[in-house]
Amino acid sequence: MKTMTKSAAALPLNTIVAGDCIEAMNALPAESVDLIFADPPYNLQLRGDLHRPDNSKVDAVDDEWDQFASFKAYDDFTRAWLKAARRLLKPDGAIWVIGSYHNIFRVGAALQDQGFWILNDVVWRKSNPMPNFRGKRFTNAHETMIWAGKSENSKYTFNYEALKALNEGIQMRSDWVLPICTGHERLKDEAGDKAHPTQKPESLLHRILVGSTNPGDVILDPFFGTGTTGAVAKMLGRDFIGIEREEAYRKVAEKRISMVRKFDNEALQTTTSKRAEPRVPFGQLVERGMLRPGENLYSMNGRHKAKVRADGTLIGSDVKGSIHQVGAAYEKAPSCNGWTYWCYKKDGKNVPIDILRQQIRAEMAN
C-alpha cells in the first residue's frame, strides 16, 4: 500500500482543477509533486489568418489563451507560473517544458534564472509536420522540450535502462522522431472539428513518463488541455493533477481519461538499472557456503584460475585481491568486472558466479 504523507493526502490526485494555473498551484502543498510536464501557451504572435495555396484557411493556434500583449507580458507570465511550479516540486523533482522557437528560449532563460538545472533539451522531430504554406521559411518540423531538475543537486529520476530497452537496446538520444497527433487519437468536438488545437501525442508522454517517473509518482500538468498527460499517467500507474482554465477542454479531458484503463502491474515493470539493484559482496557467497574456501574459480575465457579464500578474496599465480582485481591483473586491464569474468565448476560444467549473486538478489526481493 502506498504511504501517504500529510502533504500528499491533501493533494487532489487524479483530478482536473478548474482555473488559472498560478492560483491553483499556489493553493497546493509545497514539495508534493515528483514531476511537472508543462505545455504552456506558445505566444505565436500570429498576424492575421494563415491560408493554404488553394486559399483555404489553416486551423492555426489563434485562441485567446495564446495571446500576450508583448514579450514582457509573456515573460512575466512565464516567470510567475515557473515560480509556483518550482515550489510544488519535491527537492529531487524535475520539470519538462515543451515549446517552439516562439517561446522556448524565453522559457529556458527563465528556468535557469529561477534555479532549475537544465539536464537536456530534447528535440521532438515530427515525422508528419504541417508544410510551410507560404514557402518563405523552412518547414517547422520540430518542437523543443527542456528537461530540468529542481536544482543542481536534485537526484532526479532517469530510467536509463528502460529507455534503452524502448529503443531496442540502443542508448536513447535527445532527438525523438514521433508523429503529431492524428487519426483516432485526435479528439473531435460534436461538429467533428479538432477538440483542441495543440493536442500532444500520447507517444511523447509515454516516453517522458517511462523515462523520468516511477509507478506511484505524482505528475502535475498546469496546462492540461485535452489531458494527454493524465491519460498516459493513468495507463502507466502514475497519479496526476491537471489544471485547465477552459471548461470545454476540461470536459474533453475528463471523458477521455475516464475511458483509459491502467496497464496491469506486471506490464508496468520496466528494465531497471544494474546500479539500482542491491549490492551483493562476493564474500557473501563464501559466508553462505555457495562457494567454499579452497575452491577454484576459472576465467570465462578458460585461460586462468584462482583459489577462493575464506575472506572472499582470490589468490592466483603471483596475484591476490578481489574478484575484480585478480581478473584485471590476469588480463593486464585497468579494470575488470569479476562477476562476469569468473565461473565455478558444477558437475563438470562452467557456471558463471553471477548466477549465485542473482539467487541472493531474488531472495532479497521476496
Ligand X SMILES: C[S@@+](CC[C@H](N)C(=O)[O-])C[C@H]1O[C@@H](n2cnc3c(N)ncnc32)[C@H](O)[C@@H]1O
Residue from 153, 4, 17, 24 nearest 88 by CA? 24
Nearest CB to ligand X, comparing residues 41 and 211: 41
Q: At what angle do helices 71-88 and 104-113 cross, to 10 degrees?
A: 50
- Are the C-beta atoms of 338 and 327 separated by less than 8 Å? yes
Nearest CB to ligand X, comparing residues 154 and 226: 226
CB of 36 to ligand X, least distance (A): 12
CA distance 146 to 119: 8
CB of 110 to ligand X, least distance (A): 15
- Are the C-beta atoms of 12 and 70 separated by less than 8 Å? no
DSSP3 helix / strand / coil % (the chain, rounded to 5): 35, 20, 45
- Are the C-beta atoms of 321 and 329 separated by less than 8 Å? yes
CB of 229 to ligand X, least distance (A): 7
CA distance 20 to 15: 15
Beta strands across the sheet bearing 314-316 = 319-321, 314-316, 305-308, 296-299, 342-346, 349-352
CA distance 177 to 123: 8
CB of 42 to ligand X, least distance (A): 7
Nearest CB to ligand X, comparing residues 66 and 328: 66
Nearest CB to ligand X, comparing residues 241 and 353: 241
Nearest CB to ligand X, comparing residues 223 and 282: 223
Nearest CB to ligand X, comparing residues 195 and 286: 195
Nearest CB to ligand X, comparing residues 156 and 223: 223
**Residue spans of beta strands (DSSP E) within the chain:** 15-18, 33-38, 89-99, 117-126, 142-149, 175-178, 218-221, 239-244, 296-299, 305-308, 314-316, 319-321, 342-346, 349-352
Nearest CB to ligand X, comparing residues 223 and 342: 223
CB of 34 to ligand X, least distance (A): 18
CB of 151 to ligand X, least distance (A): 25
**Nearest-CB residue for ligand X:** 225
CB of 209 to ligand X, least distance (A): 13
Nearest CB to ligand X, comparing residues 198 and 299: 198
Q: At 225, list the grid cell.
A: 488541455
Cα 139–141–142 angle (5° rounding)?
145
Name 335's Cβ contacts closer than 8 Å, sequence gap at least 6. 324, 328
Phi then psi for 226, rounded to 5 degrees? -80, 5
Residue from 130, 109, 103 nearest 43 by CA? 103
CB of 244 to ligand X, least distance (A): 5
Nearest CB to ligand X, comparing residues 33 and 243: 243
CB of 321 to ligand X, least distance (A): 55
CB of 96 to ligand X, least distance (A): 11
Phi then psi for 89, rounded to 5 degrees? -70, 140
Q: Which residues bind ligand X (CB under 6 A)?
A: 20-21, 39, 41, 65, 196, 198-200, 223, 225-226, 228, 243-246, 249
